[in-house]
């Protein structure tokens, strides 16, 4: 399969995805004390829990060597001396210690789980709040997949780090130290042998975990390719079927699935090769110690007896066991740190702009909007709007017309404060829009777009989105005022009908009406509307037009106009071309002038009164 990667769909996809894996996507980060401190500080709100957890960790770190030490002591003492009473007492003490060890383990795990969950839940909510406050530009320049991955896999890595790595490593380290002290006490020469063997075991372990980690990362990447393709294919089924691409897509998916299967096998192969090797490695070390221990006992005049060697062996196994555990914990720690670093970088990212310290609260907004010599570009040096000036008085309707890409949506983006003007100023009721408090502007500004987003839930839930406290009666009242109560009430379960994912169970006209109702319930002073160009039957279109007129009445409205009937009733029509206003006036004034608009008008009138998308 690798051979044909250059030409296969998987190869193309993999190369595209690999290019995207930049420094930000590194799976591991070196140990960074600042980051560890910050992660540790994130447990501060749960200080009491953390204190008890640390206590449980230390208790367990002492209990484990104590259990082993007790066995060694019973063998060396009562068993060697044939003291039956001593043996019974030793067994009893062992059982009591074992029970207490398990009780401590229960609490250690419970506390660690609770602490990890609390930290992750807090971090997840903070991230969610933060992401929601980011300006539109951030969403245009950041891949959604990456944001989702922060909220899922990175948080899971951090959870593992908080719940396991630190506390498990602490238990293992203290256990190793106690075992080392005991070994030193039994026999210092044998202990030196252990000290020489330990780094070898550690290095072999590290090598294994590094290989495993790389294989795991590749496996996860191949899995994310499988899931991403699956999601895209399901969402795009309609397009796939209409172009008859099912077989081609299935072939591509099969390649991705086979690729993932291969990476999975590679992980298992690495584990299958190394785990026996690691075990053999420890057993070889034990054989060396056995040889050295036996030699020490047999050497005439040696202070080491059989009891010391037995005790030493117990402690040696207690010393070697954590090396492998620490190896995997170390690996997990690096992964958790990489996740934490990305999460904190996202949390620390300050929005390019937000509310200024003395932000103005306009309550209520009258709806007087002015553009004064406004220029704007999404990218520096690429202006899409140039020196735009106009005024919309409260209650007026402004229609924006022009060829595709002429800048209509960009004007709307500036009114909604999704972006900031590069030059010039946008004023709302005489105040620079950048100085307005975000909430006070957005609560009084409504938007109805062509592709409106509907959340999962019922029709009523979606209408209530703009005014959560509204009851069903208020919703019905809004529908009556829009003269469309019957259309939404006729749905299978009326207002309680589920809209399906993205509104998939509603027709285009029903969706548009729902969005009108959502905007009307919020009762905004300024309304932004991108008229639908979808072909809707003439009956529904007439209803939509009537509803639209009720919605607009008494509000300042900006309409990206695609219907001649809308343009005709606009107080002002702005004709855009290449980011500039090339003509302005009412429909009849512009027609009489015989300029760009009258040229466009011939096109509108020819398509049943609907402006084609290109105009
Ligand atoms: N997020 C963005 N990043 C970079 N450039 C953009 C972005 N959105 C729009 N543009 C560019 O800005 C210019 C104006 O686009 P805009 O969407 O305002 O045009 P429009 O008149 O609304 O077009 P349409 O009628 O097709 O919706 C276009 O050249 C477009 O490519």
pLDDT tens-digit series, residues 104-132: 999 999 999 999 999 999 999 999 999 88
Pocket test residue of 139, 140, 406, 614 for ligand 1, highest count of atoms within 8 A of CB: 406
Could you tell me which residue, 100 or 189, shows the higher pLDDT?
Answer: 100
Residue owning the nearest CA to atom 6 of ligand 1: 378
Tens digits of residue pLDDT in 471-513: 888 888 888 888 877 777 778 888 888 887 777 778 877 888 8
Between the CA of 556 and the centroid of ligand 1 the distance, in Å, is 23
Residue 4's pLDDT is 39
Residue 392's pLDDT is 95
Between the CA of 514 and the centroid of ligand 1 the distance, in Å, is 26
Beta bridge partners of 572: 398
Between the CA of 405 and the centroid of ligand 1 the distance, in Å, is 5
Contact between 270 and 216 under an 8 Å Cβ cutoff? The reply is no
Tens digits of residue pLDDT in 372-429: 999 999 988 889 999 999 999 999 999 999 888 899 999 999 998 889 999 999 999 9
Residue owning the nearest CA to atom 31 of ligand 1: 405
User: pLDDT band at 533, cuts 50/70/90?
Assistant: low
Is ligand 1 within 6 A of the CB of residue 413? no
Residue 531's pLDDT is 75
Is ligand 1 within 6 A of the CB of residue 7? no
Is ligand 1 within 6 A of the CB of residue 38? no
Between the CA of 499 and the centroid of ligand 1 the distance, in Å, is 30
User: pLDDT band at 540, cuts 50/70/90?
Assistant: low
Spell out the domain ranges in the chain.
30-177, 452-523
Between the CA of 537 and the centroid of ligand 1 the distance, in Å, is 29
387: its two tokens? 């020196």
256: its two tokens? 């991705």
Contact between 443 and 404 under an 8 Å Cβ cutoff? The reply is no
Q: Residue written as tokens 């795991």?
A: 216
Pairing of strands 572-577, 580-585: antiparallel
**Cα 454–Cα 459–Cα 463 angle in degrees, nearest 5:** 75
Confidence check: pLDDT of 524 > 60: yes
322: its two tokens? 């954590």
Residue 574's Cβ-count burial label (10 Å; 0-12, 13-18, 19+) is: buried
Looking at 306-436, list the stretches that DSSP marks H as alpha helix, in order from N- to C-terminal side.
306-348, 408-415
Confidence check: pLDDT of 18 > 60: no
Pocket test residue of 408, 416, 530 for ligand 1, highest count of atoms within 8 A of CB: 408
User: pLDDT band at 523, cuts 50/70/90?
Assistant: confident
Contact between 536 and 510 under an 8 Å Cβ cutoff? The reply is no
User: pLDDT band at 17, cuts 50/70/90?
Assistant: very low
Mean pLDDT, rounded, for 324-348:
82
Tens digits of residue pLDDT in 31-40: 678 888 998 8
Residue 272 — φ and ψ, nearest 5°?
-65, -35
Task: From residue 14, give the alpha-carbon distance in Å to each of 25, 147, 227, 356.
Answer: 15, 20, 14, 44
Closest CA relative to residue 256, chosen from 232, 215, 224:
224
User: pLDDT band at 2, cuts 50/70/90?
Assistant: very low
Residue 534's pLDDT is 57
Between the CA of 92 and the centroid of ligand 1 the distance, in Å, is 80
Is ligand 1 within 6 A of the CB of residue 138? no
From CA 329, how far away is CA 175, in angstroms rounded? Answer: 15
Common-topology check for domains 30-177 and 452-523:
no
Of ligand 1's atoms, which has the minimum distance to the CA of residue 137?
A: 1
Confidence check: pLDDT of 22 > 50: no
Between the CA of 410 and the centroid of ligand 1 the distance, in Å, is 6
Between the CA of 400 and the centroid of ligand 1 the distance, in Å, is 14
- Angle formed by the axes of helices 306-348 and 84-132, nearest 10°: 10
Most confident of the ranges 8-22, 49-63, 591-605: 49-63
* Cis amide bond preceding 570, omega within 30: no
Residue 251's pLDDT is 92
From CA 76, how far away is CA 79, in angstroms rounded? Answer: 6
Residue 303's Cβ-count burial label (10 Å; 0-12, 13-18, 19+) is: exposed
User: pLDDT band at 329, cuts 50/70/90?
Assistant: confident
Between the CA of 426 and the centroid of ligand 1 the distance, in Å, is 19
Closest CA relative to residue 321, chosen from 171, 102, 98:
171
Contact between 29 and 341 under an 8 Å Cβ cutoff? The reply is yes
Q: Express as a percent the part of the chain with pLDDT over 70.
A: 90
Of ligand 1's atoms, which has the minimum distance to the CA of residue 410?
A: 18
Pairing of strands 423-428, 369-376: antiparallel
CATH superfamily of 30-177: ABC transporter type 1, transmembrane domain (1.20.1560.10)
**52 by DSSP, 3-state: which?**
helix
**576 by DSSP, 3-state: which?**
strand
Of ligand 1's atoms, which has the minimum distance to the CA of residue 411?
A: 18
From CA 21, how far away is CA 214, in angstroms rounded? Answer: 14
Q: Residue written as tokens 């512009």?
A: 590
Between the CA of 607 and the centroid of ligand 1 the distance, in Å, is 24
Is ligand 1 within 6 A of the CB of residue 409? yes
69: its two tokens? 């030490």
Residue 29's pLDDT is 58
* CATH classification (class only), 452-523: alpha beta
Residue 532's pLDDT is 63
Strand order of the β-sheet with 431-432 is 385-392, 369-376, 423-428, 431-432
Could you tell me which residue, 192 or 305, shows the higher pLDDT?
Answer: 192
Tens digits of residue pLDDT in 217-276: 787 778 877 877 887 788 778 788 888 888 888 998 999 999 989 988 988 888 788 778
Tens digits of residue pLDDT in 130-175: 988 888 878 877 767 667 777 887 888 888 888 888 888 888 888 8
Residue owning the nearest CA to atom 7 of ligand 1: 378
Pocket test residue of 136, 376, 405, 416 for ligand 1, highest count of atoms within 8 A of CB: 405
207: its two tokens? 């090598």
Contact between 187 and 372 under an 8 Å Cβ cutoff? The reply is no
Confidence check: pLDDT of 448 > 90: no
Confidence check: pLDDT of 14 > 80: no
Is ligand 1 within 6 A of the CB of residue 383? no
From CA 43, how far away is CA 23, in angstroms rounded? Answer: 27
Closest CA relative to residue 369, chosen from 558, 550, 98:
558
Q: Express as a percent the part of the chain with pLDDT over 90.
A: 26
Could you tell me which residue, 25 or 394, shows the higher pLDDT?
Answer: 394
Confidence check: pLDDT of 95 > 80: yes
Radius of gyration of the chain (CA): 35
- Burial of 418-429, coded b for 16+ CB within 10 Å and e otherwise, reads bbebeebebbbb
Residue owning the nearest CA to atom 10 of ligand 1: 378
Is ligand 1 within 6 A of the CB of residue 406? yes
Mean per-residue pLDDT of the chain: 83
Of ligand 1's atoms, which has the minimum distance to the CA of residue 412?
A: 18
From CA 87, how far away is CA 90, in angstroms rounded? Answer: 5
- Burial of 332-357, coded b for 16+ CB within 10 Å and e otherwise, reads bbbbbbbbbbbbbebeeeeeeeebee
Residue 19's pLDDT is 42
Tens digits of residue pLDDT in 549-581: 878 888 999 999 877 778 888 999 999 999 999
Pocket test residue of 377, 379, 388, 409 for ligand 1, highest count of atoms within 8 A of CB: 409
Closest CA relative to residue 133, chosen from 565, 439, 513:
439
Residues constituting the chain:
615
Q: Residue written as tokens 């670093």?
A: 341
């Amino acid at each position: 399969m690798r051979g044909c990667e250059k030409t296969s769909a998987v190869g193309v996809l993999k190369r595209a995805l690999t290019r995207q894996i930049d420094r930000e996507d590194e799976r591991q980060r070196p140990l960074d004390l600042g980051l560890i401190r910050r992660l540790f500080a994130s447990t501060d709100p749960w200080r009491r829990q953390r204190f008890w957890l640390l206590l449980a960790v230390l208790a367990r770190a002492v209990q484990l060597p104590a259990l082993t030490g007790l066995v060694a002591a019973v063998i060396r003492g009562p068993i060697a001396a044939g003291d039956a009473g001593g043996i019974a007492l030793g067994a009893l003490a062992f059982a009591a210690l074992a029970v207490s060890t398990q009780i401590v383990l229960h609490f250690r795990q419970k506390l660690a789980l609770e602490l990890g969950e609390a930290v992750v839940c807090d971090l997840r909510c903070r991230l969610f709040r933060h992401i929601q406050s980011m300006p539109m530009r951030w969403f245009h320049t950041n891949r959604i997949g990456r944001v989702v991955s922060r909220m899922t896999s990175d948080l899971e890595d951090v959870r593992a780090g908080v719940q396991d790595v630190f506390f498990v490593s602490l238990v293992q380290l203290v256990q190793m130290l106690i075992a080392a002290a005991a070994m030193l006490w039994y026999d210092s020469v044998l202990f030196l042998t252990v000290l020489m063997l330990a780094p070898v075991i550690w290095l072999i372990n590290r090598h294994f975990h590094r290989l495993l980690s790389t294989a795991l990362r590749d496996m996860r990447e191949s899995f994310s390719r499988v899931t991403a393709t699956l999601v895209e294919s399901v969402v795009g089924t309609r397009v796939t079927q209409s172009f008859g691409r099912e077989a081609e897509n299935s072939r591509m998916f099969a390649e991705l699935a086979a690729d993932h299967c291969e990476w999975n096998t590679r992980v298992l192969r690495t584990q299958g090769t190394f785990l026996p090797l690691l075990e053999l490695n420890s057993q070889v070390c034990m054989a060396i110690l056995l040889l050295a221990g036996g030699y020490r006992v047999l050497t005439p005049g040696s202070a080491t007896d059989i009891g010391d060697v037995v005790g030493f062996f117990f402690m040696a196994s207690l010393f070697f066991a954590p090396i492998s555990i620490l190896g995997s914990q170390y690996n997990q720690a690096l992964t958790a740190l990489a996740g934490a670093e990305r999460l904190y970088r996202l949390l620390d990212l300050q929005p390019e702009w937000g509310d200024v310290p003395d932000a103005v609260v306009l309550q209520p907004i009258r709806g007087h909007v002015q553009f004064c010599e406004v220029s704007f570009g999404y990218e520096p040096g690429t202006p899409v709007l140039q020196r735009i000036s106009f005024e919309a008085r409260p209650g007026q309707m402004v229609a924006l017309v022009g060829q595709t890409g002429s800048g209509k949506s960009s004007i709307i983006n500036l009114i909604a404060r999704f972006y900031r003007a590069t030059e010039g100023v946008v004023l709302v009721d005489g105040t620079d829009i950048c100085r307005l408090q975000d909430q006070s502007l957005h609560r009084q500004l409504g938007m109805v777009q062509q592709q409106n987003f509907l959340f999962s839930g019922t029709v009523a839930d979606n209408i209530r989105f703009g005014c959560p406290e509204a009851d069903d009666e208020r919703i019905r009242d809004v529908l009556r005022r829009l003269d469309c109560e019957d259309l939404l009430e006729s749905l299978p379960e009326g207002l309680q009908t589920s809209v399906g994912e993205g509104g998939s169970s509603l027709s285009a006209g029903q969706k548009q009406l729902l969005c009108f109702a959502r905007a009307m319930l919020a009762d905004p002073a300024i309304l932004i509307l991108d008229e639908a160009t979808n072909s809707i039957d003439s009956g529904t279109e007439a209803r939509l037009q009537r509803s639209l007129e009720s919605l607009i009445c008494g509000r300042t409205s900006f309409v990206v106009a695609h219907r001649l009937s809308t343009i005709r009733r606009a107080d002002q029509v702005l004709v855009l071309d290449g980011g500039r206003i090339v003509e302005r006036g009412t429909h009849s004034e512009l027609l009489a002038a015989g300029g760009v608009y009258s040229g466009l008008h011939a096109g509108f009138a020819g398509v049943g009164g609907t402006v084609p998308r290109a105009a």
